[in-house]
Amino acid sequence: MMEWNIQARAHECGMCERRFEDKDVCHTLLYQEDDELNRLDLCNECWVKKYSQEIRRMPGLVSFWQGVYTVPPPEPPEPLEKETAESILRKLIELKEDEFEPACFILAAMLERKRLFKVKAQHRKDGRRYFVYEHAKTGELFTIADPELNLNQFEPVQRQVHGLLAHGLKIIGVHDEKNPSESMAVETGHLDDGMNPEDDKGGDLPADEEDSHGSGYTNYRGQ
Ligand SMILES: [Zn+2]
């Protein structure tokens, strides 16, 4: 069964194994194999030589797109940093508990609104819908299941997400050793995370202006 997960961008081409350098063009293919969504990152040469012509015949292809590889910044030290939608989402995905699927979905939608996440593909599997989001800075792919919440279910999940942002994972019984105490300041800071309820009445997401090459998904579906 497919589950929600995070797939990091490769640091080398999946075919010729050449290491990517900063600002290299990188082609990402998303395909399904043995019930899993896999990603393949390719350098431009391999893409042109091997894939660009045959891509639409690739078995299990879900989506493909072109991006730019950026050298990841050194890990910042993060002592007692306040939780963000992103940090909470990462921790929940790590837990792999089905009960947090709805919270992950809401957090991912918040990150999309902040333009940190970009939808790259939608995928159906066993009657369920999955969104594949790309992290705008790291190129990681986050596969998030659509919990298909109805209005009654939506509110408790949103309350849970509010609570997680304000108090961290201890409210769901998970204690984070790296972040043993939370400061009171966190409680007033949580509106920064896009959790202002007003945001949710806005309706449409902002138009995406950055995606100049268009997503492979759209192109693919257009065939
Ligand atoms: Zn290559």
Residues 6+ apart with CB under 8 A from 26: 9, 20, 41, 42, 43, 44, 66, 67, 68, 69, 139
Question: What is the 111 CA–ligand 1 centroid distance (Å)?
Answer: 31
Region 95-111: mean pLDDT is 95
Q: Pull the structure tokens for residue 219.
A: 């192109």
Question: What is the 87 CA–ligand 1 centroid distance (Å)?
Answer: 32
Q: Which regions of 44-194 does DSSP assign to beta strands (E)?
A: 61-68, 117-125, 128-135, 141-145
The tens digit of pLDDT for each residue in 28-40 reads: 999 998 888 999 9
Within a domain: 107: yes
Say whether 168 sits in a helix, a strand or coil. helix
The domain total for the chain is: 1
Within a domain: 102: yes
Question: What is the 41 CA–ligand 1 centroid distance (Å)?
Answer: 9
**175: domain range?**
85-118+137-201
Question: What is the 104 CA–ligand 1 centroid distance (Å)?
Answer: 34
Question: What is the 88 CA–ligand 1 centroid distance (Å)?
Answer: 35
Within a domain: 3: no
Within a domain: 108: yes
Within a domain: 68: no
Question: What is the 18 CA–ligand 1 centroid distance (Å)?
Answer: 6
Question: What is the 49 CA–ligand 1 centroid distance (Å)?
Answer: 9
Question: What is the 208 CA–ligand 1 centroid distance (Å)?
Answer: 29
Within a domain: 59: no
Please give the share of the chain, as a percent, with pLDDT higher than 90.
55
Residues 6+ apart with CB under 8 A from 172: 100, 160, 164
Within a domain: 165: yes
Question: What is the 42 CA–ligand 1 centroid distance (Å)?
Answer: 5
The tens digit of pLDDT for each residue in 144-202 reads: 999 999 989 999 999 999 999 999 888 888 775 555 444 433 444 444 444 444 444 44
Give the bridge partners for 122, in sequence order: 131
Question: What is the 44 CA–ligand 1 centroid distance (Å)?
Answer: 7
Within a domain: 127: no
Question: What is the 219 CA–ligand 1 centroid distance (Å)?
Answer: 23
